[in-house]
């Protein structure tokens, strides 16, 4: 597609439930990133994929968070046993190997009630 697509755009879930957030990057972009953004703050790094492998997952806050990119294109961020503190906008971005600068999707707003 022309841009980075994230689904759903909004997700409300109950505390303790499992959620999956999907990111469809720009075709041909080998690098994919997940960030989390709280209201009025800058995005916070979660994980970076180069191809199918997670090259850097140092930003994942704990083992309830996991992300996959099995075919080197679409990625899914998975959150188990959600907590109210997980509420935020989850942003996905992609980039070509040789470029600086990311193209972001519009994000998924996750609300845990």
Partner 1 sequence: TQLLEQSPQFLSIQEGENLTVYCNSSSVFSSLQWYRQEPGEGPVLLVTVVTGGEVKKLKRLTFQFGDARKDSSLHITAAQPGDTGLYLCAGGGYQKVTFGTGTKLQVIP
CB contact at 8 A, 16 and 81: yes
Q: Per CB under 8 A, which region of 14-22, 50-58, 64-72, 73-81 contacts partner 1? A: 50-58
β-strand partners of 80: none
Shortest distance, CB of residue 15 to partner 1, whole angstroms?
Answer: 25
What contacts 20, CB < 8 A, 6 or more positions away?
76, 77, 78, 79
Q: Does residue 66 bind partner 1 (CB under 8 A)? A: no
CA 34/CA 23 separation, integer angstroms: 9
Q: Choose between 23 and 112: whose C-beta lies nearer to partner 1.
A: 23
CB contact at 8 A, 54 and 46: no
Binding partner 1 (rule: CB under 8 A), the pick from 19, 29, 34, 35 is 35
Length of the chain: 113
Q: Does residue 52 bind partner 1 (CB under 8 A)? A: no
CA 46/CA 50 separation, integer angstroms: 14
Q: Per CB under 8 A, which region of 12-20, 65-73, 76-84, 92-100 contacts partner 1? A: 92-100
Residues near partner 1 (CB under 8 A): 4, 31, 33, 35, 40-45, 48, 50, 55-56, 91, 93, 95, 97-107
């Amino acid at each position: 597609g022309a841009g980075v697509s994230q689904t759903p755009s909004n997700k409300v879930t109950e505390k303790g439930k499992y959620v999956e957030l999907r990111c469809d990057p720009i075709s041909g972009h080998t690098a994919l990133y997940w960030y989390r953004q709280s209201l009025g703050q800058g995005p916070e790094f979660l994980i970076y994929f180069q191809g199918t492998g997670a090259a850097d997952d140092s930003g994942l806050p704990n083992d309830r968070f996991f992300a996959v990119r099995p075919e080197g294109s679409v990625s899914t961020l998975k959150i188990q046993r959600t907590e109210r503190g997980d509420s935020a906008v989850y942003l996905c971005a992609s980039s070509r190997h040789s470029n600086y600068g990311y193209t972001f999707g519009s994000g998924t707003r996750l609300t845990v009630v």
